[in-house]
Amino acid sequence: MITKLFKTGALFMLVFFISANTMVFAQQNKTNTKTTKVRSKTADEQTVSDEHSLIGITTADNKPASHTQHPDAQWYPEAGLGLFLHWGISSVRAMNISWPMIPGRALAKKRIDDPAERERIIRESDYNLNGKKPEITPNEYWTMAKDFNPQNYDPDKWIKAAKEAGFKYVVLTTRHHEGFALWPSAYGDFSTKNFMNGRDLLKDYVAACRKYGMKIGFYYSPPNWYFDRDYMSFLYGGAKKLNPEFPSLDADLKPRTTQKSAEETAKHQAEFAALVKGQVEELLTRYGKIDLLWFDGKPAIPNGDKCISIERIHELQPGIVVNPRLHGKGDFITYERTLGTNKVATGWAEFCNTWTTAWPYTNDPYRSDGYVLGQFVTCRSLGVNYLLGIGPKATGELAEDAYKNMAVVAGWMKVNGEAVNGTKPLAKEEEASVPAVKSATAIYLFALPKFKDNGAYDKDMLPATDETITIKGVKKLSGVKLLSNGKPLHYTHADYTVTVNLPASERSKLVDVIKIEL
């Protein structure tokens, strides 16, 4: 929900948050000197925090850093819109990727003091405290590899639709925490080499990206729960902290009864480091030029962030862009589920979120395109890229709803693309009551649809109302119009402030763009 900015004496700025429930918006890089209360985490923020803790990501891994100056990498801050494709063996059951094999989220929130209740939970594997066994054990999860055989795999169709919808780059999960690699890796025994007769699912993806001029991104998870299965506990990390009496769980989600020796552990850790280094080098040497490497955590070994150095990555791919989730530093900041910033980005930054509620393909409905486009344009008003997540089916096809929604975005882009391509956040002396960007010849104001109860679906959308939108700091202009139909809008211009009247009759269910011609 966008609230109008205002002044009381000296200029100051309110903070808006983008998440699955709320939008973040700020146009000024100014400091609010008022004392603010500490805000409790939303459900999305808590989930991200808990999951990141389990895979070794801390808040320190998301600090601003200087980015690469290589000429081949300078596309990144202008890209705007990226497609995040989560795919793996979990698609066989259309379930969330990796995380269903980790029970205990409820135990991370509730302390169990009664010894008899603890024994019952262990005996019945009721770690989610819902009277049921976990959705799937790790060993059951990994058996999906034998049924993963995408006979209708057609990344050309995926990428063509994404290109038409205005996406500029794509990031595909080459290996998630589950451990299954989508290419025939020489490292480890859990890849297409072992289950698909050596079929390489990355090769056609790369070819499709090149065909349509899309920047090529590889997601790679250094944590590997399959490789680490005899050395890790599959109980949710926060559960052990709150309930240390609970045992470590093996890959059948039973109490682990054996313990590895120091020698065995040291050998395993060395092999783990070699696997990560070897697989990353395969990704960077087998497929030609790769534009982006998207890490997601650290292997649970000493100095896990040093398995492969940034220097080695740039030696193999000099113009690549790298995120900070392995090394603690990278070329851009990553925000997940929630855009936790109230300022225009001073460096490169990216916000990733899902088009449904899950990263991979599930049967969940798609969020409103008005909601998704609202997140996108708000990101652009802050100079942040928007990486939007969907997932292919086990067959290798995208769901029809994915194509339908991309077609809606494509239609919006045909009319409004000039507002999000090649534009910049407002200058410091400019301030708008809605997300806004500018070019050399125009300012674009984004009127977002509103949703009831922090909703995100068409059913939650509130009826459009007449809206008054303002922007301050405009010295001269030649006209104001609605970009969708070219109709001029009524406005006033006084004291460098433009006030625009946007009638409800002119509103759509998407983001409506007002163009102020300078």
Asked whether residue 24 is assigned to any structural domain, the reply reads no
pLDDT digits 0-9 by tens, 409-432: 999 999 999 999 999 999 999 999
Q: Give the residue carrying structure tokens 């609202």.
A: 374
Distance CA(240)–CA(237), nearest Å, equals: 6
Domain carrying residue 230: 43-331
pLDDT digits 0-9 by tens, 64-103: 678 999 999 999 999 999 999 999 999 999 999 999 999 9
pLDDT at residue 2, as a whole number: 35
Asked whether residue 219 is assigned to any structural domain, the reply reads yes
pLDDT digits 0-9 by tens, 26-59: 333 333 334 445 556 777 888 888 899 889 998 7
pLDDT at residue 408, as a whole number: 98
Average pLDDT over residues 97-122: 96
Asked whether residue 168 is assigned to any structural domain, the reply reads yes
Average pLDDT over residues 202-227: 98
Asked whether residue 366 is assigned to any structural domain, the reply reads no
pLDDT digits 0-9 by tens, 486-496: 999 999 999 99
Asked whether residue 57 is assigned to any structural domain, the reply reads yes
Asked whether residue 20 is assigned to any structural domain, the reply reads no
pLDDT at residue 312, as a whole number: 98
Question: Residue 334 above 50 pLDDT?
Answer: yes
Question: Residue 25 above 80 pLDDT?
Answer: no
Asked whether residue 515 is assigned to any structural domain, the reply reads no
441 neighbors 517 (Cβ within 8 angstroms)? yes
As for how many domains the chain has, the answer is: 1
- CATH for 65: 3.20.20.80
C-alpha angle 341-343-349 in degrees, rounded to nearest 5: 65
Question: Residue 287 above 50 pLDDT?
Answer: yes
pLDDT digits 0-9 by tens, 130-172: 999 899 999 999 999 999 999 999 999 999 999 999 999 999 9
259's CB contacts (< 8 A; 6+ apart) are none
pLDDT digits 0-9 by tens, 223-268: 999 999 999 999 998 899 999 999 999 999 999 999 999 999 999 9
- Tell me 90's DSSP state: G
Structure pTM? 0.91
Asked whether residue 161 is assigned to any structural domain, the reply reads yes
